[in-house]
Structures are given as C-alpha cells and as structure tokens.
C-alpha cells in the first residue's frame, strides 16, 4: 500500500482515541512504521528517539528479543485459552505467581487480569465495593479521586477522572464520585511550601470523607505521580498522610500504577517511592512493556482475606474478560518481568534520571514561555505558560505545544503533548548517551520556536 493511501485511509477509516474523526483529515497523524531499541522510524523513513515509550509503555524498548521470543513460543504452544473458572493455563498461573512474588513488599496476595489500564481500574473499583459489601458495609459505594487524575476511559474510571474534558461527552457518569484538589505545587491556591501543601490536601480528603459520611465511602483512588494530567509529583508527605486518613475511616486506598508501575519512577512501584502500601493496585502498560495488551488489578492480603473468608457466595468475582490473562500477553509479561528484575531496570532509572531531570529544568531558565518543569525518574512534564511571572495559563487555542512537538519531531525526537504540557516518558532501558541526545534535541527544538 502506498504511503499516500495509508494516510488517506487512516483519515477515512480509523476513529482515533482522543481525536475528532474529521480533524484527522486535515491534521494527519504520523505513521510510525518501525521500532528498534529506543528508536522509531516513521513511514517516510525519518528516525526519532522515542521520548514517549509508545505511550508510557515500551519500557524495554522496541526490539527486546526475549520478550519477542516468549511471544512467538507462546503462539506455537497455545495462542489462546480462557481463564473463566473451569479452565486456566500455565502462563496465567506463572505470571500471577511472579507478580505476587515481586509485590511481596506491598503485601499483595493475588492478581486479577484484564486487557489494559482501564480494565485494571474498573476491576479495582468493583472489588473495592464488593469488599465492603462482604464486610456488611453495604452503603460504602462512593469513590473519591483527585483533580488532574487520569484513570482510563471505562465508565468507572471516567467517573473518577479529574479532567472534565474526558467526561463531558459521556455524562451522566457513575453517581457517587467526588474530587479533591491535586497536591500540585505549581498551581494551587494555598501555599508554595511542599509539606504544608501535602497536609492541606490530605486534610481536604479527610473533610470530604467526613462530609460524605465515612460509612458511604468505598475508596480513594490516585496515581502515585499524576501522569497524563501533567506529570504532577505530590509532596513527600502526601501519600503517607493519605494512608492515615484512609485507615482512620475504613476507606480503601487504590494506587493507579498504570504509568508508575514497573520502574518508571526509579522504584519498581510508585507507592514504594512514597513508602506506602495501597489496598489495590492498577497495573498495565509496562507490565508487558507494551508488546501485547495486558492489565491487572493486584489485591492486598487485607482485601483478599475478606474474599477468602466468605462463605455466602457474595465473594464470587463476577467480573472478567474473554482475554483476561491472555496466554500471549502473559508470556510477554513474564519475559518482561524477568528482564526488569535481572537487569535491575528500576535501579538503572534511579541512576540515569536525576541528570535528565536536572538538565531539562534548565529550559525554564532559558525560555519565558516555560512555566514549570517537573517530574521524577523517567517521567517529565514541561508546562508552557503565557506568563511565567503570573503563571497565566496558555490560551486553550495556543498552538505552541504542537509547534514544539513538530520541531522536536523534525529534529529526531518524539514527544507527547497533553494540554499545555510537553511530556517525556522514554523507554526505561534508554542509555545515558541516548538521554543526552534526547535532551540536546529537545533543547534545540525549544530554541527553534517563538512563543507567538
């Protein structure tokens, strides 16, 4: 098929996530045709460093031979069978055991599989409600989440999403979902002191739980570092305080680790960054390094024990997908996990990321349209502003983020734009030399553009 036909057919036949179908005709997406290591090539043969890891996913890069081999071997052995009660298969069993092993410090007892992050969130929200029902707390159905949070696109996850753009077209959503502020140092009306901000927002959570009635609240869900919302790193005291608040009121804590899980912050899990254990974890993306879609909800012993002890039948998990624990995805995840641990990929991230974070902070000093550069590990957000002194937001119509992304693309770097933010989340196996190239290319792209 010719490149022009590909472009034309794309505009005509695919409805892309988060895009207006008609806009795809005028503003055609880049067609990525090939990947190798931390690099990708578009259909015109233009080579770029993948600054987004596919979409926070390709943590081991695009040509990881052991993952590829595991997938091929699994296709030869058993391409598919289901895990609905009466049957299972070896890879599902091996992967569940491997995940529970690796999450021993988290106190995880079991995992429930789905096909991606939205599934993982849906599973966690449903298990949270069921857990309370099993304990006789039938009114505990509400969820509290944070503004700027992103939890996928199913009705549950969409209802706890902290960005109304994702919700408005599909309202009305799940009743009983409420939002507190994000502990966002750069943009909050309270304070510029990190510890104070952590205390203020944790207190806000407590007030909301008390206001709703603790006996009506099932869970609080949050990302250890908010990703899609602009890479917002909470103050260090925030998660420990949140854990205390949840415990005081019998509210479950759900950590949405879809982005932060499996090493992106320099820790195997984002909750380790904060020294806190959740009750349920949402896992996806890096779980299979993006090679095959997979998601999982990890269940703590505390939650699992309630299901195990149930004799009423109410503990039956009436949730699951045809492709839960798909054998090929499970094989990819097993191979991914092995490399992640044997090569200490999280340790690699912890070693190489401070210089990366430090260097790109320099963009805020050099360009008046850069308001804030923030992040942790190999996730970084650059917020573009209209005025760095007043922190006035970029007009919604501004094409500056898109022009920056184009400039980076031309120079050989793929970045992601989310609202006024330029976001970077390269593969975790990226070398120091590649990170240096990524930073130089981004710096040059910033030099290329004028704010108006």
Ligand X SMILES: Cc1ncc(COP(=O)(O)O)c(C=O)c1O
Q: Which residues bind ligand X (CB under 6 A)?
A: 116-118, 121, 150-152, 223, 227-228, 256, 258-259, 284
Between residues 122 and 372, which has the closer beta carbon with respect to ligand X?
A: 122
Q: What's the min distance (Å) between Cβ of 440 and ligand X? A: 28
Q: What is the residue-wise DSSP string for 303-331?
A: HHHHHHH--SSTT------TTTT-HHHHH
Q: What's the min distance (Å) between Cβ of 219 and ligand X? A: 15
Between residues 149 and 198, which has the closer beta carbon with respect to ligand X?
A: 149
Between residues 151 and 267, which has the closer beta carbon with respect to ligand X?
A: 151
H/E stretch holding 111: strand 108-114
Residues 188, 180: Cα–Cα separation, whole Å: 12
CA distances 391 to 115, 267, 323, 345, 387, Å, are: 39, 32, 46, 36, 5
* Residue of this chain nearest to ligand X (CB atom): 117
Q: What's the min distance (Å) between Cβ of 258 and ligand X? A: 4
Residues 349, 428: Cα–Cα separation, whole Å: 6
Q: What's the min distance (Å) between Cβ of 120 and ligand X? A: 7
- Residue 344 burial (C-beta neighbours within 10 Å; 0-12, 13-18, 19+): middle
Between residues 118 and 324, which has the closer beta carbon with respect to ligand X?
A: 118
Q: What's the min distance (Å) between Cβ of 124 and ligand X? A: 10
Residues 325, 323: Cα–Cα separation, whole Å: 6
Q: What's the min distance (Å) between Cβ of 152 and ligand X? A: 3
Between residues 182 and 441, which has the closer beta carbon with respect to ligand X?
A: 182
Between residues 140 and 151, which has the closer beta carbon with respect to ligand X?
A: 151
Burial track 141-178 (b if 16+ CB lie within 10 A, e otherwise)? bbbbbbbbbbbbbbebbbbbbbbeebbeeeeebbeebe
């Amino acid at each position: 098929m010719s490149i022009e036909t590909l472009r034309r057919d794309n505009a005509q036949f695919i409805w892309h996530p988060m895009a207006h179908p008609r806009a795809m005709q005028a503003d055609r997406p880049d067609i990525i045709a090939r990947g190798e290591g931390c690099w990708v090539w578009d259909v015109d043969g233009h080579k770029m460093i993948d600054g987004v890891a596919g979409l926070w996913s390709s943590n081991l890069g695009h040509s990881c031979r052991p993952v590829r081999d595991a997938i091929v071997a699994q296709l030869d052995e058993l391409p598919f069978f289901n895990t609905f009660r009466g049957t299972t298969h070896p890879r599902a069993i091996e992967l569940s055991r491997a995940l529970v092993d690796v999450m021993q410090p988290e106190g995880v007892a079991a995992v429930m599989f789905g096909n991606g992050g939205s599934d993982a969130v849906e599973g966690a929200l449903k298990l949270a409600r069921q857990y309370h029902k099993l304990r006789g707390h039938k009114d505990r159905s509400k969820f509290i989440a944070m503004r700027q949070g992103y939890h996928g696109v199913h009705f549950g996850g969409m209802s706890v999403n902290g960005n109304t753009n994702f919700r408005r077209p599909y309202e009305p959503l799940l009743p009983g979902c409420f939002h507190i502020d994000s502990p966002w140092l750069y943009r909050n009306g309270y304070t510029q002191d990190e510890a104070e901000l952590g205390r203020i927002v944790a207190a806000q959570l407590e007030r909301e739980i008390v206001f709703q009635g603790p006996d009506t609240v099932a869970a609080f869900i949050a990302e250890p570092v908010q990703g899609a919302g602009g890479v917002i790193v909470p103050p260090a005291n925030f998660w420990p305080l949140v854990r205390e608040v949840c415990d005081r009121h019998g509210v479950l804590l759900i950590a949405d680790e879809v982005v932060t899980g499996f090493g992106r912050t320099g820790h195997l899990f984002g909750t380790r960054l904060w020294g806190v254990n959740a009750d349920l974890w949402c896992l996806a993306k890096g779980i299979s390094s993006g090679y095959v879609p997979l998601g999982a909800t990890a269940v703590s012993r505390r939650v699992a024990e309630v299901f195990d002890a149930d004799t009423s039948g109410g503990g039956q998990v009436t949730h699951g997908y045809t492709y839960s624990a798909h054998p090929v995805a499970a094989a990819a995840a097993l191979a991914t996990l092995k490399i992640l641990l044997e090569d200490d990929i999280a340790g690699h991230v912890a070693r190489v990321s401070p210089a990366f974070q430090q260097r790109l902070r320099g963009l805020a000093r050099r360009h008046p349209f850069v308001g804030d550069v923030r992040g942790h590990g190999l996730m970084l957000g650059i917020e573009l502003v209209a005025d760095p002194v007043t922190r006035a937001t970029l007009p919604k119509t501004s094409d500056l983020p898109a022009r920056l992304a184009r400039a980076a693309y031309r120079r050989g770097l793929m970045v992601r734009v989310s609202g006024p933010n330029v976001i970077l989340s390269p593969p975790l196996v990226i070398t120091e030399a590649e990170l240096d190239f990524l930073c130089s290319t981004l710096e040059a792209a910033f030099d290329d553009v004028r704010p108006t």
